[in-house]
Structure 1
Amino acid sequence: MRISTQSFYDQSLSAMGSQQTSLLRVQQQIGAMSKILTPSDDPLGATRALSASQSISLNDQYSTSRAQASRTLGLEDNALQNVTTLLQNIKGLVVQAGNGTMTDADRASVATTLQSNYDQLLGLANTDDGNGQFLFAGFKSGSAPFVQQAGGGVQYVGDQGQQLLQVDISRQMAGTDDGRSIFQTAQTSSGYVTTSAAANSGDGVYGATSVIDATNPDFGKNFSISFTSATTFTVTNSDTPPVVTAGTYTSGTPIQFGGLQIVLTGAPASGDSFNVNTAKNANPDMFGALSDLIGALKTPIDNGTPAAKAQLQNSLSTANVKLSNSLDNVLTVRSSVGSRMQELDTLNTNGDARNLSDKSYLSDIQDLDYSSAITELYQRQMALQATQQTFVQIRKISLLNYL
């Protein structure tokens, strides 16, 4: 069989090209540290590798969101811890201010301390994250949520939105809480708040309001106790039209209505009134409660009437209940923050385990077996060298060498 010179060269070139291609592919696999260079190398493996890579990428994004949520919740928890400590100190000062031996000057000194606490509380309510974003402003996080009004009082100018973070495949979590739900809200379970009308001229003083029958059909409504004389009163509920019940007053004898009981002492005058409202309907604003308390303590009573002294005593009682309700609300919110932080820890543990599993699966699909790859590299090199040497030797064969 006659083989032409051109055919011989073509076949030799093709064989060396094939060997070089195979050698280059092994070199690229070693350089890329992967056995799949293009989808055509292993279509099914490439599809599985893409799916695993996407899962790892999503998990990394969830991990970033969890880190952000942990940071903001940690800042919120720290702020609420300081608020809790501050409210506990304020409640201690309220008890101190109720000491009957204190003078106007002593109470003014306590009021000065409370004013400082008020300013600290306002600063904590306007806590930011260090990047100019306020924690308790809702969606309006670019500006301070609580603003001191010129005429007194604090106004919440944020909103009640919650910035949700996608912390896992099917879990969105609020990274912060809005300021109104923390500083200007009371829990539904909070007790009733009793207040006396500013125009009261008698020296009636109320004690704590207690629940004696939560199943009473009027329980949960607001009430007003109005004295029609020194010994008679009416209780009006918040129905429309209101229901009015008459009663006879004796100092120290409990007054019962709507499943509640309250004890009044002293001598209320005709026209005096006392409101008994649910915590949510008694203006549950800790700034307002503290401001009213400061104002009451600054009012001199040493040379005042029994009515003025009764007003102070009632103001202290109201402030104590309102601040207790505020403290309970802050503790409830803080408990929610702690639960979310604990959940994030669990999600981080699960996410790390899922990430490790995905990376292990991806490694099985595409990672190169270096021992096999290096062995194949040497085999391809030897095959290429053998092909080249064969070509060199065969091309020297000629009939002229035998003439």
Structure 2
Amino acid sequence: MRVASSTLYQLGLASMNSQQGSLLHVQQQLGTGRRILTPSDDPVGATRALVVSQSSAVNNQYATSRKQANTNLSMELNSLNSVVTTVQNIQTLVVQAGNGTMSDADRASVASALQDSYNQLLGLSNADDGNGQFLFAGYQSSTPPFAKNGSGAVVYGGDTGQQLLQVDVARQMPTNDNGNAIFMSVQSTATYVASSPSANTGTGEFSAISVTDPTNALYGHSLSLNFATDAVTGKMQYQVMDQSAAPPAAVGAPVDYVDGAGISVGGLSLSIKGTPKDGDVVNLQPAKQAGTDIFANLQSVINALKQPIVTTADRATLANALSTANRQMANSLDNVSTVQTSVGSRMNELDALNTIGTNRGLNYTETLSGLQDLDYYSAMTEYYQRQTSLQAAQQSFMQIQGMNLFKYLG
């Protein structure tokens, strides 16, 4: 078969170009450290590397979300720590105010200290993150959650939402708690609260309530002890009323009142000392029905301390108000502490998720490295092979180029 000189040139040039291309490809691999430069180098490996890269990027985004969540929760926890300290100080002042040797001026001084705590508590309830976003406003984070209305009462202007962040594949975590759940709520397990209207005219002082039988049919109902003199015997009696019934219904017959004796009703136990008068009432209410607004409860005890003590009835009214406030503050403190514990638990969970995410990221990195990183020993060997092949192609082309019959004609 006759082979034209042009064909020899074309074949030689194609061979050199092919070897140069292969050598350039190996040089690019060595320069980038990557085995796969284009999908055509390894279609299956390139596809797997793309999937792993995307998974790694998502994992990194989860890590960023966890960092933001931890920042938000840390700020909330710091504020809640301050709230707990403030409420504990309030409890100390309430107990101090019950000292029977205090004068009206002394109690006014305690009321002033409680007012400072009230203002401090209001400031903490409107804490922000330093960028104008309020911690306890729910979704309404651009406006202060708590403000005083026209009558001077503190009202909540936020909502009950919780801002969620996707911190892992199957975990959306709330990164805040709304102010209504913190400052205007109590736990479902909170203790009963005893209280008496300021209109009471007797000297009856109630003790703290103890739960003796939570299985009692009346347990969980709002009850009251209504005092009245028996028209026949002339003895003071109390009638238990179930205020949860509609209309309120009497529970059993009236019972003779004995100063300081224990009273058991609805799975509850308490005692009352002193001399109640006709029309006096002692309310026994589940915590959720006995005033859960920490600001309103604190304002009530401040107002009570500002009232002068003239009669023994005035002293009994104050003692009852302080007892009620002490129980309400204890319930509020338990509620804040529960939220505080929840925040701490979420931060611990973030730490655990960070560990898992870090390990997952290392696995992705290792897998990606195995798929696309270059084996330098093999690449250098191939590089020298390609280089030798190119040199051989060039030399053979030069020899073929010299094959010319005209140089033999004289």
**TM-score normalized by the length of structure 2:** 0.95
Letter in 2 for 1:233: Y
Distance, in Å, in 2 between the alignment partners of 1:287 and 1:374 is 77
Q: Which residue of 1 aligns with 2:339?
A: 333
What's 1:390 paired with? 396
- Partners in 2 of 1:255 and 1:294 — Cα distance? 29
1:288 maps to which of 296, 304, 311 = 296
1:241 to partner: Cα distance: 4.0
Give the distance between the partners of 1:26 and 1:52, measured in 2 at CA: 25
Write the distance in 1 (CA, Å) between the matches of 2:79 and 2:227: 45
Aligned Cα RMSD in Å?
Answer: 1.4
Residue by residue, what CA displacement relative to the aligned partner does 1:371-392 show, whole Å, maximum 9, x if unpaired?
Answer: 2223322332332233223222
Q: What are the Cα deviations for residues 104-150 of structure 1, in whole angstroms up to 9, with x where unaligned?
A: 11111111111111111111111111221111111111111111223
Q: Does 1:298 align with 2:306?
A: yes
User: Any runs of at least 4 consecutive aligned residues in structure 1 with deviations exceeding 6 A, and if so which?
Assistant: none
Which amino acid in the other structure matches residue 254 of structure 1? G
> What is the distance in 1 between the residues matched to 2:214 and 2:275?
29
Match of 1:15 in 2: 15
Q: How many residues align?
A: 401
Letter in 2 for 1:56: S
Secondary structure of the 2:374 match is coil
Matched, 1:363 2:369: yes
- Partner of 1:208, secondary structure, is coil
- Which of 247-256 and 25-34 deviates more? 25-34
Shift of 1:274: 1.6
For the Cα contact (< 8 Å) 2:8–2:400, is it kept in 1? no
Structure 1: which amino acid aligns with 2:311?
Answer: T
Deviations 1:150-192 (A, max 9, x none): 3122101111111111111111111111111111111111111
For residues 241-320 of structure 1, the aligned pairs below 5 Å read 241-245=247-251, 246-301=254-309, 304-320=310-326
For residues 389 and 103 of structure 1, the distance between their equivalents in structure 2, rounded to whole angstroms, comes to 116
Deviation, 1:269, is 1.0
Q: How does 1:122-133 map to 2 (within 5 A)?
A: 122-133=122-133
CA contact (8 A) 2:56 2:361 kept: yes
Q: 2:238 aligns with which of 230, 233, 241?
A: 233
Give the aligned partner of residue 89 of structure 1: 89
Per-residue deviation at 1:52? Answer: 0.8
Runs of 5+ consecutive residues of structure 2 not aligned to the other structure: 230-234
**Deviation, structure 1 residue 216:** 0.6
Return the alpha-carbon distance in structure 1 between the equivalents of residues 299 and 248 of structure 2: 32
What residue is the counterpart of 1:213 in the other structure? 213
1:376 counterpart SS class: helix
1:243-274, Cα deviation, whole Å (9 max, x unpaired): 30322111101222111112111111111112
CA distance in 1 between counterparts of 2:323 and 2:405 reads 125
SS in 1 for 2:300: helix
Question: Aligned partners of 2:187, 2:343: CA distance in 1, in Å?
Answer: 16
Q: Which residue of 2 aligns with 1:57?
A: 57
Q: Secondary structure of the equivalent of 1:150?
A: coil
Equivalent AA in structure 2 for residue 84 of structure 1: V
Alpha-carbon deviations, 1:263-321, whole Å to 9, x = none?
A: 111111111112111000111111111111111111121xx122211111111101100
What does residue 46 of structure 2 align with? 46
Of all paired residues, the percent bearing the same amino acid is 53
Residue aligning to 2:232: none
SS at match of 1:228: strand
Greater shift after overlay, 239-248 or 49-58? 239-248
Aligned partner of 1:345 among 344, 348, 351: 351
What TM-score, normalized by structure 1, do the two folds share? 0.96
User: Per-residue deviation at 1:325?
Assistant: 0.4
Q: 1:124 and 1:306 mapped to 2: Cα distance?
A: 38
State the one-letter code of the partner of 1:146. F
CA distance in 2, matches of 1:190, 1:264: 22
